[in-house]
Every structure is written in structure tokens, then in C-alpha cells.
Amino acid sequence: MILVDSNYMIALMNDKDKNHKRAKELASRVDNEKKIMPVLMLSEAVTSIGSRKKGKEAKLLYDTLIDNFEIYYPTFNEIDAAMQCVLKYDGTLALADCLAIWVMKKREISEIVSFDDDFDKVEGIIRIH
């Protein structure tokens, strides 16, 4: 299983994104994996595509994610635990990123597809980019 960051999906859907070409190159690898995405990252991706490509593209992305990914819905305690990660990294990792890290540790997932190099500072995570 691989965790998918919102910025990968944004790059894949937006041909003007600087990482679009690389996202397309990674797509076959990602497509062949079981995928998980925390709901906070789903929100980031859909919101970003909606603002860049409008509502129909946002809905297409939403449907794709819901149909092909396991969407992780955290409890309040899990979000609270992720907030401790935000503090640990002094705010350099977003709450959504810290929730992703928490999910990865809980589910024993080592790989994340992401263009966010902030994940490189987290021990035990292999960033596919």
C-alpha cells in the first residue's frame, strides 16, 4: 500500500503544474498499488483543482479518489496526535502532512508519492517523486 499526497494528484490533473510530467511518469506505478489518502489531503486536492480547473474537474478528481482510493477518516484523537507532529517539527509540516505520517505509521506504510520534500525529514518514510 502507498499513501498518496494531494500534490501528486494536483500535478497529475493540472498540465500547467511544474511536476505534471513527472506525475504522469509515476502514474503507472501508483495505479498498480493499493492507495490510501487521508481526507484532509482529499480536501486539499479537490479544493486546489477546483480553483485551478473549475468545478467539473474537481468533481472528476473527487470521484476518482473515492472510487479508487481508501479514504482515511481520522478521529478527533488522531487529529490531536497529528497536531503533536506539527509541534515536533515546529510547524514546518502541515497538519494534513502530519496526519499522513500518523496514518503511515499506524498502517505500517513506508512509501508516499509526493513532491513535498518536507517528508524527507521524517525517518522511515520513502518518498516517491
**pLDDT tens profile 25-59:** 999 999 999 999 999 999 999 999 999 999 999 99
What per-residue confidence (pLDDT) applies to 67? 96
Q: Whole-number mean pLDDT of the chain? A: 96
What per-residue confidence (pLDDT) applies to 37? 98
C-alpha cell at 71: 479514504
> Are the C-beta atoms of 74 and 82 separated by less than 8 Å?
yes
The sign of the torsion formed by the CA atoms of 63, 12, 113, 48 equals negative
For the residues 82-89, what does the mean pLDDT come to?
95
What per-residue confidence (pLDDT) applies to 48? 96
Q: Considering the entire predicted model, what is its pTM?
A: 0.92
* Percent of the chain residues topping a pLDDT of 70: 100
pLDDT classification of 97: cutoffs 50, 70, 90:
very high
Rounded distance, CA 1 to CA 15, Å? 26
Characterize 38-57 residue by residue with b for buried, 16 or more Cβ atoms within 10 angstroms of its Cβ, and e for exposed.
bebbbebbbebbbeebeeee
Question: Which burial class, exposed, middle or buried, applies to 129 when counting CB atoms under 10 A from its CB (0-12, 13-18, 19+)?
Answer: middle
Rounded distance, CA 41 to CA 26, Å? 19
Rounded distance, CA 74 to CA 91, Å? 20
Select 2-128's CATH number: 3.40.190.10, 3.30.300.30, 3.40.50.1010, 3.30.1490.20.
Answer: 3.40.50.1010
